[in-house]
Structure 1
Amino acid sequence: MLLWINGPFGVGKTQVAYELHRRLPGSFVCDPEHLGFALRRMLPEPMRGDFQDLALWRRGVHEMLDSVVRGFDGTVIVPMTVVEPAYHREMAGALRASGHDVRHFALLAHPRTVRRRLRGRVMPLMRGDSWAVQQIDRCLEALRRPEFERHVATDGRTVPEVAELIAREAGVTPAPSSDGRVTHYLRRQWVSAKHIRFD
């Protein structure tokens, strides 16, 4: 099974993905952003832009996920924002057409909530009208469309609660969480720190 965790930048996809990974024994997180940033580094400056617009990236993501799901006997978790329906079909749709069990979840929240989460995850010097903040409304509007179901409202829900909801919908049983408030906070900060992008 492949769990695709979609949503606007900053809504909590990576946090939810790693919470699921921690609590689903034998699972694996496969992040297509790594391929995107690698491709950007291999291109001259004038050719750089949104790597999702590169057909090479979309083909690469499909081929990579197809290989991982075929060769790995566990749940594959993919935290990746994709809001263009055609791109979504090219990757998730093509994986389904190949016979893979792809469960897609779009994490949604009020724009105010997403902005607050973005402010909480980035370093102070990187705050302000960042590119991610500028994409919030566009992403939320696109992801509310029927083709991006299943929609998961995250306002007022903790990361473990969202992960458990997704697990139930997907028919898998996560291990119970014994985290207290401090452990949960430290775990979230560690995941955020590991995924700071400087590209």
Structure 2
Amino acid sequence: MLWINGPFGGGKTHTAYELRRRLPGSVVCDPEEAGFGLHRTLPPALRGDFQDLPVWRQAVFELLDLALSRHPGTVIAPMTVVEPAYFAETVGRLRQSGHDVRHFALLADRETVLRRLRERVLGRAVRVLGGERAALRRESFAVRKVDVCLTRLGEPEFAEHLWTDELTVPQVADRIAASAGLTLLPDRDGPLTAWTRRKATGLRHIRLG
């Protein structure tokens, strides 16, 4: 299993889907989906950070344990987790259960992360008809979390660390695969195809709250 961690806006989702594209038999299992499902079952006033809900951590463990036990290929999970206790309840428990979980924290300088978030805000504000306010609200949360994410993810327990400031998404995927001993298909995308693919991935993963 490849767990792709990093600050919000750090490229986790794009990297996960680049790996899936070039790694036959792999699948993306996004723990965030479980969190949004829990939010939809709660009254708005009770919707805080879903990672604080013990049921989310339990659900992530059980769902990924099932996927790893039944799916024959590589499972890829893009998810920001910076609380050591929550990391232990998810990644740690999966490892204790005998699964080979390779964890990667995608890091970058603070200004690089903020620039990427600004670009994401502009893209979502333009593209999400009627959902601009929700999109911007979500990115505001991401901006507030930049410093704590970068500080905590830089700690040894969150290794392996991969600095991405000067790397493209395909290059990040190549580094992860090499570290995990996996062989990716060659990246044959031209600049236009790569740009279109990234934009399509971003659009598919817009959240409105």
Tell me the TM-score range normalised by the shorter chain. Answer: over 0.9
2:100 is aligned with what amino acid? D
Task: Name the amino acid aligned to 1:48.
Answer: R
Matched, 1:149 2:159: yes
Given that 1:23 and 1:176 are in contact with CA atoms closer than 8 Å, whether structure 2 keeps it comes out as: yes
Q: Who is 1:136 aligned against? A: 146
Cα deviations by residue, 1:96-152 (Å, 9 ceiling, x for unpaired):
000000000000001111111112223235559711111111100010000000000
Task: Report how many residues are paired.
Answer: 198
Please state if 1:99 is matched with 2:102: no
Classify 1:127/1:39 alpha carbon distance in 2 versus 1 (closer, same or farther; 3 Å).
closer
Aligned to 1:11: 10
The separation in 2 between residues aligned to 1:127 and 1:195, in whole angstroms, is: 14
Distance 2:178 2:96 in 1: 24
Distance 2:10 2:33 in 1: 19
Cα distance in 2 for residues equivalent to 1:91 and 1:130: 26
Alignment correspondent of 1:56: 55
SS of match in other structure, 2:106: strand
Output aligned runs, 1:46-125, within 5 Å.
46-122=45-121, 123-124=124-125, 125=132
- Corresponding residue of 1:39: 38
SS at match of 1:104: strand
Confirm or deny: 8 A CA contact 1:23 1:175 kept in the other structure. Answer: yes
Amino acid at match of 2:57: R
Query: Normalized against structure 1, the TM-score is what?
Result: 0.97
Whole-Å separation in 1 of the counterparts to 2:62 and 2:25: 21
1:70-91, Cα deviation, whole Å (9 max, x unpaired): 0000000000000001100101
Is 1:171 matched up with 2:181? yes
1:130 alignment partner, SS class:
helix
Q: Could you say which residue in structure 2 is the equivalent of 1:198?
A: 208
Separation in structure 2 between the aligned mates of residue 59 and residue 113 of structure 1, nearest angstrom = 33
1:41-89, Cα deviation, whole Å (9 max, x unpaired): 1012232100000000000000000000000000000000000011001
**What is the match of residue 170 of structure 2?**
160
AA matched with 1:94 = R
Q: Indicate if the aligned counterparts of 1:10 and 1:118 stay in contact, CA closer than 8 A.
A: yes
Relative to structure 1, is the Cα distance of residues 127 and 63 closer, same or farther in structure 2, using a 3 angstrom cutoff? closer
**Residue matched to 2:29:** 30
Q: Is the 8 A contact 1:119 1:127 kept in 2?
A: no
Name the structure with the higher helix share.
Answer: 2
The secondary structure found in structure 1 opposite 2:2 is strand
Unaligned runs of 5+ in 2: 126-131
